[in-house]
Amino acid sequence: MNLEQLSHMTDHEWDNLIAPWQGCMIYHHSAWLRFIADSTPGLRLIRFRVVENNVTAGYFAGFIAQKGPFLVLGSPLYGWNTDFMGPISDEQLDLPKFLHTMESWCRRNHIHFLQMGHPALPEEAMRQAGYLVNRMSHYQIPLSTSEERMWQQLRGKCRNRIRKGIANGLSVEKCDDSSIVQEFYAQHTDVFARQALAPNYPLSTVHSLVRNLLEAEGLLALRIRSNGETIATGLFPHDNSHLHSFGIASWGKERAACPNELLYWSAMQWGGRHGLQSFTIGGQYRQSPSGGVFKQKFNGELVPFLRYAKALSPPLNVAYRAYGMWRDFRSRHRAPWDGKIREKEA
Residue 322 maps to a domain: no
Could you tell me which of 44, 43, 58 has the C-alpha nearest to residue 101?
58
Judge if 188 and 97 occupy the same domain: no
Q: Is residue 334 part of a domain?
A: no
What is the spatial distance between Cα 224 and Cα 204, in angstroms, rounded to a whole number? 23
171 and 89 co-located in one domain: no
Q: What is the pTM of this model?
A: 0.88
- Whether 323 is in a domain gets the answer no
Range of the domain at 24: 2-130
Where on the phi/psi map is residue 171: left (φ > 0), alpha (ψ -120 to 50), or beta? beta
Give residue 333's pLDDT: 53
Let me know whether 206 and 91 are in one domain.
no
192 and 282 share a domain? yes
Of 68, 103, 130, the last residue of a domain is 130
In this predicted structure, what is the pLDDT of residue 321? 67
Is residue 223 one of the residues assigned to a domain?
yes
Q: Is the domain of 29 the same as that of 73?
A: yes
**Considering its fold, how many domains does the chain have in total?**
2
Same domain (yes/no): 102, 222? no
Q: Among 316, 324, 322, 283, which residue's Cα sits nearest to residue 136? A: 283
Q: In terms of domains, do 191 and 75 share one?
A: no
Cα dihedral sign, 117-75-239-209: positive
Residue 339 lies in a domain: no
- Count of Cβ atoms closer than 10 Å to residue 193 Cβ: 12
Region label for 271, one of left (φ > 0), alpha (ψ between -120 and 50) or beta (otherwise): alpha
How far, in Å, are 78, 118, 292 from residue 309 at the CA level?
11, 12, 28
Q: So what's the pLDDT on residue 253?
A: 92
Q: Tell me phi and psi for residue 42, to 5 degrees.
A: 95, 0
pLDDT in tens, 73-120: 999 998 899 999 999 998 889 999 999 999 999 999 999 999 999 999
Same domain, 169 and 266: yes
Instruction: Please tell me the chain's helix, strand, coil percentages from 3-state DSSP, rounded to the nearest 5.
Output: 40, 30, 35
Same domain, 153 and 260: yes
End residue of a domain, out of 130, 165, 180: 130
Q: Which of 130, 157, 180 is the last residue of a domain?
A: 130
Strand partners for 175: 221
Write down the pLDDT at residue 342.
38
Position 136 scores a pLDDT of 87
Q: Which of 218, 195, 201, 219 is nearest to 78 (CA)?
A: 201
- What pLDDT was estimated at residue 125? 95
Return the pLDDT at 315. 66
Task: Tell me what pLDDT residue 332 has.
Answer: 54
Do the Cβ atoms of 245 and 234 come closer than 8 Å? yes
Does residue 90 share a domain with residue 190?
A: no
- The answer as to whether 337 is a domain residue is no
Listed as ranges, residues in the chain with pLDDT below 70 are 283-294, 314-315, 317-346
CATH number at residue 81: 3.40.630.30
* CB-based contacts of 166, cutoff 8 Å, min separation 6: 262
Query: Do 243 and 151 belong to one domain?
Result: yes
| In a domain? residue 265 | yes
- CB burial of 81-103 (b: ≥16 within 10 Å; e: otherwise) equals bbbbbbbbbeeebeeeebbebbb
Give yes or no: residues 109 and 209 share one domain: no
236 lies in some domain:
yes
